Structure 1
Amino acid sequence: MPLPQPDDLTSLILRTDFGDDGAWDAVRIALDAAGEYPHATYVSDVRFAAVDVQALLDEEAAAEEDDRIADLFLADATTMEDPDHPLLAVDLWDEPGRTFRVPAHLFPDVSANLSIANMDFADFADAADGSGTFRGFDGG
C-alpha cells in the first residue's frame, strides 16, 4: 500500500507514537501555530505505529512512480516527549533514509522550501547540528 499523499504544498506528517493522544494534539497545535499557512498533512493511522525508516523506504520503493513522495516527517516518541516537538524528517528520494530533526517552530520554513523544491533535503540535513537537528542556517 503506498504512503498517503500530502495535500498540495504541504508535507506529510505520520504519527508513529500512539502512547499519548494529548501529546499528539500538542504537536499539531505547535506545528499549526508555527506558520501562517497550512504546511502539514497529518496522518494518524495505527498501521504506522512504531514504523521504522527502512519499512517506509521499502513501502515507497514498491509504489508506482506517480505515487511516490520525496520526503516525509515522523511524529515519533521523541517528537511527543520533547517540548520543541522535533519531527524526524526522512528523505525518500535523493538519499533514501537520510534523516534530520526539525523543531516545530522551524517546520513551516523547511516544509515550504521542500514542497516547492526551492531547496533540497540535503540543504537542511547538511546544516543540522551534532545532534542531527536543524536549528536554522545560523545555528539557531
Structure 2
Amino acid sequence: MRDLPQSEATLLIRTDFSDEAAWQALRTAVTTPGDGDGGFLAVLHIVDDPAYRDLPPEQIVALAPAEDDLLIIVDRKALAGTEMPLLAIYTGAEDEDGDEDEIGDGGSAPGFDELRVAAAEVWSVENNISLANMDWEEFVDAAAGDGVFRGF
C-alpha cells in the first residue's frame, strides 16, 4: 500500500466506492461555497483512488504524511447520509508547552481523534484547524448529541 500524497491542502480521502452519484454530490458539496457561509471553502486535496478502498481510519492515519494534523475521510456512512457526515480525523494536539496532549478518548484509537462533520461545515473545521484559529475540542464540544458537527 502506498503512502498518501503530500499536499499543502487537507487530504480528503475516498474509501467508499459503492455509490458514484453520492460521491459526485459530496464532491460538489465540499467544493461549492454555500449561501450562509460567506463563501468560505475548505482547502482540500481530493484523493480518489481505489487503492484506499475500505481502509479503516488507523490505516489512513498510518499512510498519511506525519505533518498532516487533519484528514477527512469519505466512507460509507458519509455517502449514505443526507448531510453527508464526513469523518474528520485529528492527529495533532499540543498544549502550551509544545507537549503532545492526550487525544483519542471517546472510542478513538490512541494517537488520533474522530468527529463526524456535515459536508456543509467541512470548510469551518478545515479552515480553522489549518490556520490554528480554533482548537479541535471546540468542534467536538459543538457536535450534536449524535456526534455530528453541524456548525456553531
Is TM > 0.5 for Structure 1 vs Structure 2?
Answer: yes
Count how many residue pairs are aligned between Structure 1 and Structure 2.
Answer: 130
* Identical positions, percent: 33
Alignment match, 1:29 = 28
**Counterpart in 1 of 2:15?**
16
Q: Does 91-100 or 30-39 show the bigger shift?
A: 30-39
Q: Aligned partners of 2:131, 2:72: CA distance in 1, in Å? A: 16
Cα drift, residue 116 of structure 1: 0.8
Residue 114 of structure 2 corresponds to which residue in structure 1?
Answer: 99
How far did residue 13 of structure 1 move? 0.6
Larger of the two Rg values belongs to structure: 2
8 Å Cα contact 1:34/1:106 also seen in 2: no
Answer yes or no: is 1:89 the counterpart of 2:93. no
Aligned to 2:52: 48
Task: Write the distance in 2 (CA, Å) between the matches of 1:2 and 1:123.
Answer: 30
Q: How many Å separate the matches in 2 of 1:117 and 1:2? A: 25
Rounded to whole Å, the distance in 2 between the matches of 1:87 and 1:34 is 17
**Residue 88 (structure 1) shift:** 0.5
Instruction: In structure 2, give the amino acid aligned to 1:13.
Output: L
Cα distance per residue 1:34-62 (max 9 Å; x no partner): 353542221111121111111123334xx
What CA distance in whole angstroms lies between the structure 2 residues aligned with 1:129 and 1:71? 20
Q: Is contact 2:32–2:41 with CA below 8 Å preserved after alignment? A: no
- CA contact under 8 A between 1:12 and 1:43: conserved in structure 2? yes
Counterpart of 1:123 in 2: which secondary structure?
helix
* TM-fit CA distance, 1:98: 0.9
Q: How does 1:42-81 map to 2 (within 5 A)?
A: 42-60=46-64, 67-81=66-80
SS at match of 1:90: strand
Paired residues of 2:69 and 2:90 also in contact (CA < 8 A): yes
**Which runs of 5 or more residues in structure 2 are unaligned?**
94-102, 104-110
TM-score using structure 1 length: 0.81
Separation in 2, partners of 1:105, 1:34: 9
